[in-house]
Structure 1
Amino acid sequence: MMERRHKRRTRGKPKKKKRFTALYISCIVLLLVAVGGYLFRKQLTLVAFDWFVSPTLESKLEKSYQPRQSKEQQPQETIAYQKEPFSVLLLGTDQRPNEKARGRSDTVIYAAVRPAESRVLLISIPRDTYVQIAGHDSNRDGEDDFDKLGHAYAFGGEDMSMATVEKLMEHKVDYYATINFQGIQDAVNAVGGVVLPIDQPIENKNPLHIKFRIEAGKPLYNGEEAMYYVRYREDSDFNRTKRQQIFLNAMADRLLNIDGITKIPELLDIMGANFTTDMEPAFITGLGKQAISQGNPQISSFTITGEGFKKKGLYYDRANEQELEYARLMIANWLDSDTTPQTLRLPDKQDIQ
């Protein structure tokens, strides 16, 4: 009887050993997969872009592609590796749903893009900045009218906005990209929310403004909260433009992962007519693939401040001339193809993500 017990014990040991060995091997395999996924996350994201995004992205972008009416654009060269710097005027409009009027540009950002280094410079210009609106002469005195920068879009759409910003910044704008705030709300909801650094509640208290309150410390904020975050202005126009830059960085972080990348075609469907650009679909797709292969882009931000004043009962913002000139010098440096990463001029006031 003792012999039978001993045999039973000896027969049970190999099974336990095999189970332990299988578990050990499984753990090693899982560890290797996890480490490999981390080390090769760029390659995996690029594969996801090629497999799930590229086949449909260009066709989706065709709906948003709107060449400018003011002049015939040169065909945009589609090459595997974009090297030359270029500029884009980013416009966020306040057009309400079902409104025929254009609305105004609530957000105006001059972006200098250096695709070879995956770097972007965002120069934010407050919408109330007092500027000469290029091509708008309402009293027909032969001089372009002075008005708020945001009104350029209402008077003449992207063309007039681009011409006005070119005149102000003394640098050419190559392309535009316009998004309606409804599009921002829908896009944020589509990616499951966005991370925003809100450490105290944000609340509209002015009785003339839309009532809302954004709670602090949430892990993710939904589309409506994100829209209110970028539009809140009861503290200052300067802080408002900084929030817009923070939001753009946060959305870029959200999209530049495998889950976010695969949702881009869906986002374009959701945004629909709320997003327009004169960058050709193949050009955008090529830039996206290049950015993924090179790693997350570095975004440097600068906001042109100013001093508020009233004229005929209306509030305007007079741009600080020193900061305006400083921004012009930075743009010249960033758009110069001979500028190296070592000689790239970074803003004194910057947020690099």
Structure 2
Amino acid sequence: MDKNQPAEARVLTRAQRHRKKKTKKNKGRAWLIALGVVLVLGLGGFIFRKELMVLAFDTFLADTVKNTLDDSFVPLDQPPKGGGAEELTVAELTKEPFSVLLLGTDQRDDELARTDSIIYSVVRPVDNKVLLISIPRDSYVDMVGTPTIKGTRSKTKINAAYAYGGAQMSVDTVEALLDHDVDYYATINFNGLKDVVNALGGVELPITETIENKQADHEKFTIEANKPIYDGTEALNYVRYREDSDFKRTERHRIFLKQVLDRLKSVENLTQIPKLIGIAGQNFKTNMNSEFMLSLAKTVILNDSTPTISSHMLQGEGVSRDAWYYELDDEDLEETIESINKWLDPNSAPADLIVDDTDEGGDSHTDQEGQPAGDVGQ
């Protein structure tokens, strides 16, 4: 500094230097505040990411999805025996255990509709648990309502119920078999799964060996092993494949369902929901109203994990009469009914919800090599 400068100039320079220091300090403080805000917002966004997803869903997607779901609503001709779950409010329904009969069809345009997959499920929203009771499609059971339909049989394979009398007869027949109400039903045409999976960007499947459908009367396809992601066609073939056993096939259905749920819960797929519902809506029918389904979907999103799925296949053995049937084991059926009792009881403790997960059975129309299912973890 020039000592020959006037004192006023030297004082002014000191003031300027002070202002510069203060400006730098303010800038540093501003950066710290901005960084703090970003961290707080980022942390809050992470902690409350599921709540933000629900808010975004309500704001941008709910109306579109509701309208599409309304188109899939098809009530039964008769309400479930005992009134079913419709007596409860939507808020109560998302807390109380309820049952759903899942009916999977694999129908082409020129085929008679029969159920390829029949699953009685119990959903416990509060516990984030689902029980799947798989009923082999060849199970030899009493048909409920056949005397009123010409050309039908009073006892035959359970998958004929849908062909005879649609969802209503399927519900009535399963209710009689399992001695429990069916609160809701849902039919899904597997042919629509291909587009759903593609819209999700594919799914992960635990295929460790190449799967090949090659029997003379079966549709030919091959699924390569150990791929990181499988597209819609491959996933559909994975669900359809039946050249090992009905029991392993049921296990594949369960694995596929969990993988789809995992993909649906990812943030990047949230914006795909209207498209997914639109695709599924063409292949999906249910007596669940849209308000209930939307409320249930939010409950799933807000949970920290995908629902834990427990499963059991009704046991029995193959028998030959006029055709090949699956004769259900009476003791296993009684134990299954008791298990359903516990799952439908909202006061049941976790220890009461343990399921005999041995999916091994007797001979059927395919080589029955049972495979344990167990719980799909969180």
1:28-43 correspondence to structure 2 within 5 Å: 36-43=44-51
- How much has 1:45 moved relative to structure 2? 2.8
| Counterpart for residue 267 of structure 1 | 276
- Amino acid paired to 2:352: L
1:244-323 correspondence to structure 2 within 5 Å: 244-296=253-305, 297-312=307-322, 314-323=323-332
Check whether the contact 1:113–1:121 (CA below 8 A) recurs between aligned residues. yes
Separation in structure 1 between the aligned mates of residue 353 and residue 331 of structure 2, nearest angstrom: 16
Separation in structure 2 between the aligned mates of residue 56 and residue 346 of structure 1, nearest angstrom: 39
| Counterpart for residue 247 of structure 2 | 238
Separation in structure 2 between the aligned mates of residue 289 and residue 51 of structure 1, nearest angstrom: 13
Residue in structure 1 matching 2:235, options 226, 229, 238:
226
The CA deviation string for residues 122-160 of structure 1, in whole angstroms up to 9 with x for no partner, is 11111111111111148989x962111111111111001
- Is 1:93 the equivalent of 2:117? no
- How much has 1:271 moved relative to structure 2? 2.7
- How much has 1:219 moved relative to structure 2? 1.2
Separation in structure 2 between the aligned mates of residue 27 and residue 317 of structure 1, nearest angstrom: 66
Residue in structure 2 matching 1:54, options 51, 56, 62:
62
Residue in structure 2 matching 1:130, options 140, 143, 148:
140
| Counterpart for residue 352 of structure 1 | 376
- Amino acid paired to 1:89: L
CA RMSD of aligned residues (A): 3.1
- How much has 1:38 moved relative to structure 2? 4.2
1:178-189 correspondence to structure 2 within 5 Å: 178-189=187-198
| Distance 1:110-1:30 versus aligned 2 partners, 3 A rule | same
| Distance 1:232-1:55 versus aligned 2 partners, 3 A rule | same
| Counterpart for residue 16 of structure 2 | none
Check whether the contact 1:138–1:145 (CA below 8 A) recurs between aligned residues. no
**3-state SS of the aligned residue for 1:128?**
coil
| Distance 1:68-1:140 versus aligned 2 partners, 3 A rule | closer
Instruction: Name stretches of at least 5 consecutive residues in structure 2 with no aligned partner.
Output: 1-29, 358-373
**3-state SS of the aligned residue for 2:319?**
strand
Separation in structure 1 between the aligned mates of residue 224 and residue 339 of structure 2, nearest angstrom: 36
- Is 1:117 the equivalent of 2:127? yes
The CA deviation string for residues 223-282 of structure 1, in whole angstroms up to 9 with x for no partner, is 111111111111011111111111111111111222233322211212333110000111
Separation in structure 2 between the aligned mates of residue 202 and residue 175 of structure 1, nearest angstrom: 34
Normalized against structure 1, the TM-score is what? 0.84
How many residues are aligned here? 333
**3-state SS of the aligned residue for 1:348?**
coil
Check whether the contact 1:102–1:157 (CA below 8 A) recurs between aligned residues. no
The CA deviation string for residues 163-185 of structure 1, in whole angstroms up to 9 with x for no partner, is 11111111110110111011111
| Counterpart for residue 67 of structure 1 | 75
Residue in structure 1 matching 2:176, options 143, 167, 173:
167
Of structures 1 and 2, the one scoring higher in RCO (CA 8 A, sep 6+) is 1
The CA deviation string for residues 281-317 of structure 1, in whole angstroms up to 9 with x for no partner, is 11111111122223332222222232112222x2211
Separation in structure 2 between the aligned mates of residue 282 and residue 48 of structure 1, nearest angstrom: 17
- Amino acid paired to 2:209: Q
| Distance 1:77-1:170 versus aligned 2 partners, 3 A rule | closer
- How much has 1:215 moved relative to structure 2? 0.6
Check whether the contact 1:64–1:272 (CA below 8 A) recurs between aligned residues. yes
Normalized against structure 2, the TM-score is what? 0.79
Check whether the contact 1:306–1:319 (CA below 8 A) recurs between aligned residues. yes
**3-state SS of the aligned residue for 1:344?**
helix
1:175-214 correspondence to structure 2 within 5 Å: 175-214=184-223
**3-state SS of the aligned residue for 2:131?**
strand
Residue in structure 1 matching 2:116, options 92, 97, 106:
106
- How much has 1:114 moved relative to structure 2? 1.2
**Percent pairwise identity:** 46
